[in-house]
Amino acid sequence: MKAADQRTTNCRRSLQSFKLKTSIPMITKTKPLNRFVEWKTTALAALALASLASTPALAGDKNDDEFQFNLVRNTAFDSQFPNFARNARGRVKIESVGPVEIMDVKVEGLPPNTDFDFFVIQVPHAPFGLAWYQGDIETNRHGIGHGTFIGRFSIETFIVAPGVANAPIVFSTPGRPDLSDASQNPATFPVQLYHLGLWFNNPADAAAAGGPSTVTPFNGEHNAGVQVLNTQTPAFPDNFGPLRHVNP
């Protein structure tokens, strides 16, 4: 047992001696290696910063992929209803993400806790031309509403009907074909749609906001109120609405 213990002790001493002898050259080689790694890291970081600064899309300029514009109050009723939704306004941001766009809409100055219907339309004012129902926006108790929509909201936005086809009649109002589903679509070549509009979902809400109580087809059941916001500004004439400025 003593001989075995002695051999174990000698083995441990030899191992410690080996570690001591080999540790010194390792330390002397590590210092220049660390300096090389630090120099290389610094150089790569500088190169990366230079590359980022020379690339506009990565330099913090988000406007390259975004387009923002205002929604303005519909003034078509001012002669008879001058106080109609006097403080109504909105802001739209469209971000192109390749195959689709993300449209962020914020409205304010509207009646609180009220439903509205949002449309993409051919021209911003009556008779509006072709239109499609994009979605709903509901205001909170402060009269502020927000909606986010995903789709094709760009220079490529259009409607087309190569031919006439039968359509289901789901919603109808007796004696009011303008508020009822059509049994067929009209044929049309491609028509570009570049404007936006917001309608009261309920004619009574429009009247309570100081406007007319006219019933229009601009909601899912075709019994909406009148338009309150649109994109009719000097910057966006009828044939050059804001969506035409978005190039995916």
In this structure, what CATH number is given to the domain that contains residue 207?
2.60.40
* Per-residue model confidence (pLDDT) at position 248: 85
Looking at the structure, do residues 147 and 189 belong to the same domain, yes or no? yes
The reply to whether 239 and 162 lie within a common domain is yes
pLDDT value at 51 more than 60: no
Residues 10 and 133 in one domain: no
**At which residue do the structure tokens 């049994």 appear?**
183
Looking at the structure, tell me whether residues 49 and 87 fall in a common domain.
no
Q: Indicate whether 141 pLDDT > 50.
A: yes
How many structural domains is the chain composed of?
A: 2
Same-domain status, 238 and 126: yes
Question: Model confidence at 63, in pLDDT bands (50, 70, 90)?
Answer: low
Please give the residue range of the domain that contains residue 41.
Answer: 2-56
Q: What is the pTM of this model?
A: 0.75
Give the number of residues written for the chain.
248
Asked whether the beta carbons of 199 and 224 are under 8 A apart, the reply is yes
Residue type, 244: R
42 vs 118, higher pLDDT: 118
Are 38 and 67 in the same domain? no
What average pLDDT does range 134-140 have in this prediction?
98
125 and 44, same domain (yes or no): no
Check whether 160 has a pLDDT greater than 70.
yes
Does 68 lie in the same domain as 50? Answer: no
Residues 73 and 76: their CA atoms lie apart, in Å, by 9
Nearest to 100 by CA among 154, 45, 138: 154
Same domain, 68 and 52: no
Residue-wise pLDDT for 67-92, tens only, equals 999 999 999 999 999 999 999 999 99
